[in-house]
Amino acid sequence: MSISNVAYFYGSVEEAYLDKIKVALKEEKVAYFPLSQMCSIALDHFAHLIVSGTLKEIKEVLELALKYDKSIGIVPMPNQKELMKTFELSSKLDEGISQALLISEEKIDILFSNDEIVLQEVVIGDAPPLDQFDTALNKKSIFGRLKLFFRTMKKVKALQHTKMNLTDAKSNEIKFSAVGLVGVEYNNATFASKLISKQTNSSDGKLSLVILAPISILQYMGYLFNALVSRWSPERLPESVGFIRSSALKIESERPLPVLIDSDVKQETPVQLKTQEKALALSVGEKFWLKQNQETSDKDSIKIDHLPRDEESVGYLSRSIPFFSHASQEQYARLFANLREESKTSSTFMILLIFATMIATFGLFINSSSIIIGAMLLAPLMQPIVSLSMGVLRQDSALLSGGLKTIFIGVLAVLITAALISFFTPIERLTTEMAGRLSPTILDLFVAIVSGAAAAYAKSNEKILGSLAGVAIAVALVPPLAVAGIGIGWADWHMFSTAFLLFITNLVGIVLAAALTFVVLGFSPIHVARKGILISMFIVAVVAIPLYSSFTKMQEDIRIQQILSNLTFNVGQHDVKLSHIELIHRKNVNEIRCEVIATGVLKKEEKQRLKEVIEQTIGKELEVIVTFRYRL
């Protein structure tokens, strides 16, 4: 056999394609061998190897190159898009051959799964879409990506958590629960490698294992939508994904899981993944080296703290993935202990509430929003309401009775305190801050619902408990009660009823939203929570009836304000224009307050004419209170 520089091994390659390769290499010293002759060739005569064929055939020649420490290049076939993407090989035949002929000066790591070479990825269990290449999204419209999203979502029912036990290169044991794992060595444009692209390097002796472990369908849907539809690349790992970086990993599972290597070779757990550092001089494209993380480290990396690991979660998830997340027994016990304590009536609760009521009531009289905000921050009334919400959700009699009792005593204390202050205060003037609590609408209910959800979320997460202060400001509980108490002190039952309706609106909105939030956070299964949620929704619907009526009245007030603010007319000797228009509805009395900008001092007849014009424009009788300003 003549001595040549290059041995070209070909497997399942079309004859016409091979002829094109031979024409392109006619100037080179190349000897061509079918793969069946591979073991009979004396490789000492060749300085470089080239291979074309299926992935399985390519890996057979790579094993030969490893054994004899030979450099090697790959000429991919036109349909091997993923292989081209992994090693940045050209899709053009002439350029691909030129790349394959160049002997790489730097060697790359090789990943093995139970001694089987892994070129692209090894998939353990089921891990969609981590095991897919993003080429699946190429040239797809938004509708095509949505179709792929829903097709992948159909697989959720088949996903099942399995307890995993991993042992790394330093014999450290790592335990968690997951539905699937994807091992990669190179930044190969799979969804798994895209998540860790800033940490992969092809010559650092480390493999990367990406772990899919969603604790709820909702959480999984979020990651799936971002990956497939919005094509968003997160700065950190999604909540449903973990990551381990090590030179070797032994993977054992509670039940046998299928192991798929490069979408072809099938094995079964337990499986041993290991990296052979700088093992092969493989001819790759220049872009391959540009994709590598230059800040390599010898340290292993483990990011699994957010994955399910306790026995309760593992047992719960091994049956099926719930739509909402499931709180652990530790989280459940900690939250319930806090809520039970906060549902009780204590001296501290009463003292703070009375002080907050006094501050709020004086702030209402002074018409100071900053003083009222201070009272909102001080008032502890939100705590028993959130406790009541959990009691309604879980039909917990202790939380229900405790929360209701504390709320009732607290409301009574606020009303009595505010009524006494208003009774003994020699001022009976409706301020703007008071009037602002006398027209609750459906919008106030929406605010209460959002605030209730925020309160429940903050309560379930100790790291953000400080946010409850902001929630207390967003949904005012004490100020409307204080206004209702002032109505009692003034014997104004319309004032009392409208202000108290605002408080009831806030109360039922918070209870419903907090209950729904606790369900989403996994503190109650839906079959237990259904009754409490339905009762809460019914009460909210009943309260929404007068609120909607008030909302339509508010729309009418806005229309009137717009009409009057654009109105300029003559009342006799002077022209007038209205500004800062405010409508106030009291029992049997509709009141309008505004500023009148006039060209001079109005006579009694002109003032009467002014009132008549306003009433004619509005179409109803009302009291008119004006502040005059004169244009000089």
Task: Read off the amino acid at residue 370.
Answer: S
364 belongs to a structural domain: yes
pLDDT of amino acid 4: 64
**What are the structure tokens assigned to 104, written together?**
């790489």
Instruction: Indicate whether 315 pLDDT > 50.
Output: yes
Residue 585 has pLDDT above 80, yes or no: no
Q: For residue range 543-584, what is the model confidence (pLDDT) as tens digits?
A: 888 888 777 877 878 888 888 887 788 888 888 888 888 887
What is the structure's pLDDT at 462? 61
Helix (H, G, I), strand (E, B) or coil at 345: coil
Examine the domain organization and report whether 380 and 414 are in the same domain: yes
Whether 149 contacts 225, CB under 8 Å:
yes
Domain carrying residue 440: 329-550
pLDDT at 536 over 60: yes
What six digits make up the tokens of 86? Answer: 């992994």
Q: How far is Cα 81 from Cα 58, in angstroms, rounded to an integer?
A: 15
Q: Is 524 found in the same domain as 611?
A: no
Domain identity same for 398 and 304: no
Closest by Cα among 104, 133, 116, 121 to 194 = 133
Grade residue 1 by pLDDT with cuts at 50, 70 and 90. very low
Residue 477: per-residue pLDDT: 85
Predicted local confidence at residue 472, as pLDDT: 54
Q: Is residue 212 part of a domain?
A: yes
Q: What is the pLDDT of residue 2?
A: 40
Beta partners for residue 574, in sequence order: none
Per-residue model confidence as pLDDT tens digits over 409-464: 999 999 999 999 999 888 888 888 898 888 888 888 888 888 888 888 877 766 55
User: Residue 587 above 60 pLDDT?
Assistant: yes
Last residue of a domain, one of 319, 347, 374: 319
Residue 30 lies in a domain: yes
* CATH for 424: 1.20.1080
* Cβ atoms of residues 306 and 501 within 8 Å: no
Per-residue pLDDT at 588 exceeds 80: no
Instruction: Answer yes or no: do 300 and 176 share one domain.
Output: yes
Name the E strands within 114-247: 116-118, 122-125, 162-168, 173-178, 180-184, 207-212, 241-246
With H, G, I as helix, E, B as strand and everything else as coil, classify residue 187.
coil
Does residue 108 lie in a domain region? no
583 and 614, same structural domain?
yes
* Residue finishing a domain among 319, 349, 376: 319
Question: Do 256 and 335 fall within a single domain?
Answer: no
pLDDT score, position 341: 84
How many angstroms separate the CA atoms of 8 and 72, rounded? 10
Give the chain's domain count: 4
Q: What is the mean pLDDT of residues 595-599?
A: 88
The pLDDT of residue 146 is 85
Residue 589 lies in a domain: yes
Token digits of residue 154: 């159909």
Query: Does residue 324 lie within any of the structural domains?
Result: no
Q: Is the pLDDT of residue 142 over 80?
A: yes
The domain that contains 227 carries what CATH number? 2.60.200.40
Using DSSP's 3-state secondary structure scheme, residue 59 falls into: helix
pLDDT value at position 138?
73
Q: Are residues 166 and 313 in the same domain?
A: yes
Domain boundary among 550, 578, 609: 550
293 and 339 both lie in a single domain: no
CATH number assigned to the domain comprising residue 11: 3.40.1400
With CA atoms as reference, report the closest residue to 50 among 26, 36, 37, 31: 31
Q: What is the pLDDT of residues 59-71, one digit of tens each?
A: 999 999 998 899 9
Is residue 499 domain-shared with residue 370, that is, in the same domain? yes
Q: DSSP of 466-519, one letter per residue?
A: GGHHHHHHHS-SHHHHHHHHHHHHTT-HHHHHHHHHHHHHHHHHHHHHHHHHHH
pTM above 0.75, yes or no: no
**pLDDT of 334 above 80:** no
Together in a domain, 123 and 231: yes
The 3 state secondary structure assigned to 61-114 is HHHHHHHHCCEEEECCCCCCHHHHHHHCCCCCHHHHHHHHHCCCCCCEEEEEEC
Could you report the per-residue pLDDT of 192-209, keeping only the tens digit for each?
A: 888 888 888 888 889 999
Instruction: Return the ∠ at Cα 225 (arms to 221 and 231), rounded to 5°.
Output: 150
**Please, which pLDDT band fits residue 3 given cuts at 50, 70 and 90?**
very low
